[in-house]
Each structure stands twice: as C-alpha cells, then as structure tokens.
C-alpha cells in the first residue's frame, strides 16, 4: 500500500513537474524551441513567442526540421553543423559579433541571437534553443553609429576650426580688441573648447564601447607624465581660481602604459576636481607606491559626494549636484577614465577625504609587475618607428 502511494505520489510530482516546465517555457519572453539532437533535428516543443516571431502555428512546427526557421541559403550548411554538434554537444551562442538571421513563414528574414544548450532526457539528446529578435537593438545601433558619424564629421571639424580662430583673435592676431569685445571673445572661446571636449568624449566613449580605441604601451615615468598633465591643466585651473599642487616623493615610478591615455585619465580626474572646488582652494595630485602598484591620487576640498550618488559615480552621463560646481560637463569623463584604466590593467576608485572633499585614485601595476599582452607587443612594434621619427 505504501509503495503504491509512493509510486502515485512520484507520478503526481512528474506530472506537476512537466506542467511547471511547460508554463515556464510559455512564460519566457524569449522564443524557446526544443529540438531532437540525436535524430533529424525535428522540433519537439515551441512556445508562443516562437510562433509570434516566425509566424507559424504550433502545429506547423512540431515534427518539422529546425532548418524551417533558417534562411534557405543556410539550411544545407546548418544540417552539417547540427550533425557535428550532436557528436560534441556543448552550450553555444550565435548572432553576437556576426550577422545571424532567422526566416519567417512569409519568407522575410530578421536578425536573431540564439543560445543552444544540450541536455539528456531519458538518454536522448535534446537541444534547448533560446531565440531573441535583435532587430530593434540593431536599429538603435545603426542610429547611434549615424549620430557618431555626424558628431565626428559635421561637428568636430568646424568646432575645432572655430576654437582655433577664436584662440588667434584672443591672442591679438588681428590687433588689440576693446575690453568688452575681448571679454565676450573669452566667453565664446571657453564655451567652444567645452563643446570640443564634449564631442571628443562622445567619440572616445563610442570607441571604447566598440573596442576600437587603440592603445600603444611603453615603459613610462609616472612622475614626468603627471608633471605634463598638471602643466596642461594650469589654464583651466586658473579659470576656476583653483591652485594645483603636485606631491611626488623620490623614487622610481615606472609604468607600462599608453602615455597619452594616462594623461587623458589624469586630466579627467583633475577637471572633475577643479569643477567641484571653490575659488582659492587647492587640488593636490599625489604619487606613491603601494606594494607592486603605483597609486595616483587627486584630492579636492569640495563638498564631497552624496551617499546616494556614490554607486553611480562611474556610470555614463552620471552627474552629481554640488553647490560649489564651477563648470558644466558631459558626465562622461569618469566613465571614460574607468574604461581606460581597466584596459591598462589597473583600478580606479574614490574615498572621502579627511576634513572634507574627495580623493580619486588610480592604481596601476608597476612596469616590472605587468606582463604585456601579445596585442600590446604587436602595437608597440608597429608604432615604434613612428615614435623614433618624432
């Protein structure tokens, strides 16, 4: 009697389990298709999302080969791939980094991402495929690419020319200007330079996201690069009425980095510190060793970072309100700095400064404690002759 009850209970649980599985598959927002992996690739289960995506009814798909969902030009090739997959089944992903299309009942095609996960059911190989329509994602990507192209070709070039012309006028290239005109020219020049920086930030962010930003690594002295960065930002610091002091103790601070990108990171940190400092205050740039790492720290005496904003500090377009904020910004600088530092095998972070303000820091491995990647060595070899000619 007890055995019979146990068996009945087991059957009940199997039935419930099958029903729960069916409901879970049907509720999934992605298309789910289960295919016989050992046989002819026939479809054994689909959910409603697959019917919606491809325009077939459930009855039209069950028992049919999975190739029915593929463009005709891919079907013969896919048959061979499916048979090879059954010999070495493992999770795979298609549609990322290269075009992969599905085919609807009406013959139209659309881009998809497909994840394949093999499983054994009663000793038979079944392949669970998750299908995502990425048409909207690709449309948005195209719009973004078009926007970046417009920003690059239609905005940056004329703005750079305008900024250069304003700089010449401000320097007296066309003669001495009345004081009122010189003041207006100074405002125009500052705002034009701000727009140029914003455009460059947008283009840099796009390159980083797409993995297209080039890095040329070499052994560099961090102290020398910091001196260049501080000198390059003295004009901006003077406009904010804020001083910049460099504290570098004696010793070796060699890094294996891209020097131009390193200066870009320090410039972004300095710019951020200066914008949140009140006139008459001082921003301190410090250099120190921490074990095998070299730490670059930028300390301001501003209002500090609100607690609720700290988790979003390095997000794209994130900006915290601050009563002492002197200049506007795009909210991209810290996000760009973080990605550059990560590419140079370092870390970036921040702490509340003793007595008020914030300390942003970058930790990079010392040159003797980092192993260059092959792509970095190749890039350095290619560009070494160009550097020698400079």
- By CB atoms closer than 10 A (0-12, 13-18, 19+), residue 384 is exposed
Distance CA 56, CA 11 (A): 33
How much is the pLDDT for 15? Answer: 62
Q: Which residues of 235-259 are buried (b: 16+ CB within 10 A; e: fewer)?
A: ebbeebebbbeeebeeeebebbbbb
How much is the pLDDT for 287? Answer: 94
User: What is the torsional sign of CA 361, 362, 365, 367?
Assistant: negative
Q: At what angle do helices 157-170 and 179-210 cross, to 10 degrees?
A: 150
Beta bridge partners of 111: 101
Question: Radius of gyration over alpha carbons of the chain, in Å?
Answer: 30
229 phi, psi to nearest 5 deg: -65, -45
Beta bridge partners of 295: 288, 363
How much is the pLDDT for 390? Answer: 43
DSSP state of 12: H
Residues counted in the chain: 390
Q: What is the DSSP string of 162-195?
A: HHHHHHHHHTTTT-PPPHHHHHHHHHHHHHHHHH
User: What is the torsional sign of CA 308, 311, 313, 318?
Assistant: negative
How much is the pLDDT for 378? Answer: 44
Q: Are 283 and 273 in contact (CB under 8 A)?
A: yes
| Beta-sheet strands, E only, within 222-355 | 243-247, 254-257, 282-290, 293-299, 347-352
274: left (phi over 0), alpha (psi -120 to 50) or beta: alpha
Kindly give the confidence (pLDDT) of every residue in the chain, 390 residues in length, as a single tens digit, with 9 standing for 90 and above: 333 334 455 555 556 666 777 788 888 889 999 998 877 788 988 999 999 999 999 889 999 989 999 998 888 888 888 888 888 888 887 766 567 899 999 999 999 999 888 888 777 888 899 999 999 988 887 887 787 777 777 777 788 888 888 888 878 877 888 888 888 888 787 778 777 777 877 788 777 877 778 889 999 999 999 999 999 888 888 888 999 999 988 888 999 999 999 999 999 999 889 988 989 999 999 999 999 999 999 999 988 888 888 888 888 766 665 444 445 556 788 888 999 999 999 999 999 999 889 999 999 999 988 876 544 544 444 444 444 444
125 phi, psi to nearest 5 deg: -80, 125
Distance CA 159, CA 98 (A): 36
Q: Are 31 and 55 in contact (CB under 8 A)?
A: no
How much is the pLDDT for 252? Answer: 80
DSSP state of 71: -
How much is the pLDDT for 7? Answer: 47
**Quick count: other Cβ atoms within 10 Å of Cβ 99?**
9
146 phi, psi to nearest 5 deg: -65, -40
Query: What are the residues whose beta carbons fall under 8 Å from the beta carbon of 286, sequence distance 6 or more?
Result: 246, 247, 248, 295, 296, 297, 298, 299
Domain annotation for the chain: domains and CATH numbers: 2-133 (3.30.450.20), 135-213 (1.10.287), 215-389 (3.30.565.10)
Distance CA 85, CA 194 (A): 55
């Amino acid at each position: 009697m007890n055995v019979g009850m146990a068996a009945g209970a087991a059957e009940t649980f199997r039935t419930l389990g099958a029903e729960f599985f069916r409901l879970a598959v049907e509720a999934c927002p992605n298309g789910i298709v289960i295919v016989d992996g050992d046989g002819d690739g026939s479809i054994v289960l689909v959910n409603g999302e697959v019917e919606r995506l491809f325009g077939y009814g459930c009855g039209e798909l069950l028992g049919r080969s999975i190739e029915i969902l593929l463009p005709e030009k891919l079907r013969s090739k896919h048959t061979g791939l499916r048979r090879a997959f059954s010999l070495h089944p493992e999770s795979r992903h298609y549609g990322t980094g290269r075009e992969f299309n599905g085919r609807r009942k009406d013959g139209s095609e659309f881009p998809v991402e497909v994840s394949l996960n093999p499983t054994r059911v009663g000793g038979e190989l079944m392949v669970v495929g998750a299908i995502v329509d990425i048409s909207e994602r690709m449309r948005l990507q195209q719009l973004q690419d078009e926007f970046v192209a417009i920003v690059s070709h239609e905005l940056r070039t004329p703005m750079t020319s305008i900024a250069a012309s304003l700089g010449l006028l401000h320097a007296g290239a066309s003669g001495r200007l009345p004081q009122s005109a010189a003041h207006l020219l100074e405002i125009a020049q500052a705002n034009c330079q701000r727009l140029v920086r914003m455009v460059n930030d947008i283009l840099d962010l796009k390159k980083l996201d797409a993995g297209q930003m080039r890095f040329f690594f070499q052994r560099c002295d961090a102290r020398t690069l910091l001196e260049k960065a501080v000198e390059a930002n003295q004009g901006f610091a003077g406009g904010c009425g804020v001083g910049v002091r460099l504290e570098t103790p004696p010793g070796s601070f060699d890094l294996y980095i891209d020097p131009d990108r390193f200066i870009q990171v320090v410039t972004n940190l300095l710019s951020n510190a200066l914008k949140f400092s009140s006139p008459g205050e001082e921003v301190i740039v410090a250099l120190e060793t921490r074990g095998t790492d070299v730490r670059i720290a930028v300390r301001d005496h501003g209002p500090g970072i609100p607690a609720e904003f700290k988790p979003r500090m390095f997000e794209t377009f994130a900006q915290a309100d601050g009563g002492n904020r002197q200049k506007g910004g795009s909210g991209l600088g810290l996000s760009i700095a973080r990605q550059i530092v990560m590419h140079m095998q370092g870390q970036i972070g921040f702490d509340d400064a003793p007595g008020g303000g914030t300390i942003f820091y970058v930790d990079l491995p010392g040159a003797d404690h980092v192993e260059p990647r092959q792509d970095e060595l190749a890039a350095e070899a290619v560009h070494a002759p160009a550097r020698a000619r400079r």
